[in-house]
Amino acid sequence: MNFNIRDKGEFGGNVDRNKYFSPLSGAWYKGAPNGIEYSDLRGGINFNWDWGSISLIKENIQWGHGKFGQLILSAKPPSYPHIRFSIKPTEWLRFTYIHGWLNSLVKDSANFYYTYPGTISQQLVESYIPKYIAANLITVSPLNWLDVSAGNAIIYSGDLRPEFFIPFMFYKFLDHNTGRGNVNDGNGMMYFDVSVRYPANFQFYSTAFIDVTEVRNILSNDFKNTWVGFTVGGKSVNALIDNLDITIEYTRLNPWVYEHKDEVTTYKHIKYYLGHWLGQNADQLRLQFDYQLLRGLKFKAFAERIRKGGLNEIYFAYKEYDTKIFPFLYSPLRKENRIGLDITYEYMHDLFLRGTFTYSDIDDTDIIRTQQFLLGKKSSFSLSLYYGL
């Protein structure tokens, strides 16, 4: 059993209230004078045995080997309650399944009602359409330096469906097999991940996320209805000198990835992507150096380029409606270049002093997407002292 609660606030004139385009975790925010307030509550109960566990837990789960964001499941959305089933029957095989309860933020007018009707206390009580995720991931390690993973997920809404509580399933095909068609149609996706730790002191990794694809179209060299994202990266440990790690990583998400024709079944929780924080029609290239000079004294320096294209309505994504092709990074285009330095010192056990510096240059041809205080050439500094976080 575990439990964790944090009550947070951010105040001042330059608060990124939504954090939609940031690696920081999102939250359900409450307005506050000159800022925002929010809570982060996590916890769960677990039952473990020698080769597995089952949990009822409110927590994020991270799938995918990206160092600067994960394509499959990430810590970007607020934590959500889910059942988690994990087994490791042998040293070379692992399997994890989750079924989670998400928030669609799509109002269900059929279930609105009035409390205290006919009195001065009468008030309309609104509710959201229920939303769920079922997902699995199997990892095979045929060699001690190789991990190969594959899995699939589905986002569905309405009533709980017992077939999605079966851990070992291909959920999108199961959705079709139960005769749903366009009635209660779920949003299915599949994904693959590989990590190679060879030669010594190196790691190479990649993740592919396939949201929509049609093999017959690919064979015809027609990719306009293929929604995919991928990450490729590499890390060198003790590169050049001891205790210096170098990581380079590139991530790309094509237009429409994580979206769906039904707003209720997008790959999101409280409007935050379940996968990579970049979202659709974007890419990121990042180089990072991590160096530990002394015990407890760590340096991190990075440089990155981030691009984000337009976000047209989902209407245009479905070829039966429109034949117009939207290329990768179609306008309006947001461009961001950043360099930064992060120094952390652990003065005593779990007591940390941290200082950061970041220089950014952001340009966005969409005049309403990026808050004004973020645009242009900016420098920011921070100094923090914290214990046990």
Name the pTM for this structure: 0.92
Is residue 27 a part of any domain in this protein?
yes
How remote is the C-alpha of 7 from its chain's centroid? 22
Is residue 256 a part of any domain in this protein?
yes
Is residue 167 a part of any domain in this protein?
yes
Is residue 134 a part of any domain in this protein?
yes
Say what the pLDDT of residue 5 is. 80
Q: pLDDT band at residue 217, thresholds of 50, 70 and 90? A: low
> 61-65, 74-78, 222-226: which has the minimum mean pLDDT?
222-226
Say what the pLDDT of residue 299 is. 97
Per the structure, the count of domains in the chain is 1
Q: How far apart are CA 339 and CA 359, in angstroms?
A: 5
Which residues, other chains included, contact 88 with Cβ-Cβ below 8 Å and sequence gap of 6+?
51, 52, 94, 95
Q: Reduced to 3 states, what is the DSSP secondary structure of residue 284? A: strand
Is residue 355 a part of any domain in this protein?
no
Beta bridge partners of 37: 9, 30
Say what the pLDDT of residue 219 is. 57
Q: Which domain holds residue 135?
A: 2-280
**Contact present, 284 and 71 (Cβ < 8 Å):** no
Q: How far apart are CA 259 and CA 64, in angstroms?
A: 19
CA atoms within 13 A on the CB side of 380: 16
**Contact present, 302 and 290 (Cβ < 8 Å):** no
Is residue 376 a part of any domain in this protein?
no
**Contact present, 72 and 64 (Cβ < 8 Å):** yes
Is residue 325 a part of any domain in this protein?
no
Q: How many CB atoms lie within 10 A of CB 331?
A: 11
User: Nearest CA to 285 among 306, 300, 302, 301?
Assistant: 306
Is residue 306 a part of any domain in this protein?
no
> 4-18, 69-83, 236-250: which has the minimum mean pLDDT?
4-18
151's tokens: 């899995």
Q: pLDDT band at residue 315, thresholds of 50, 70 and 90? A: confident
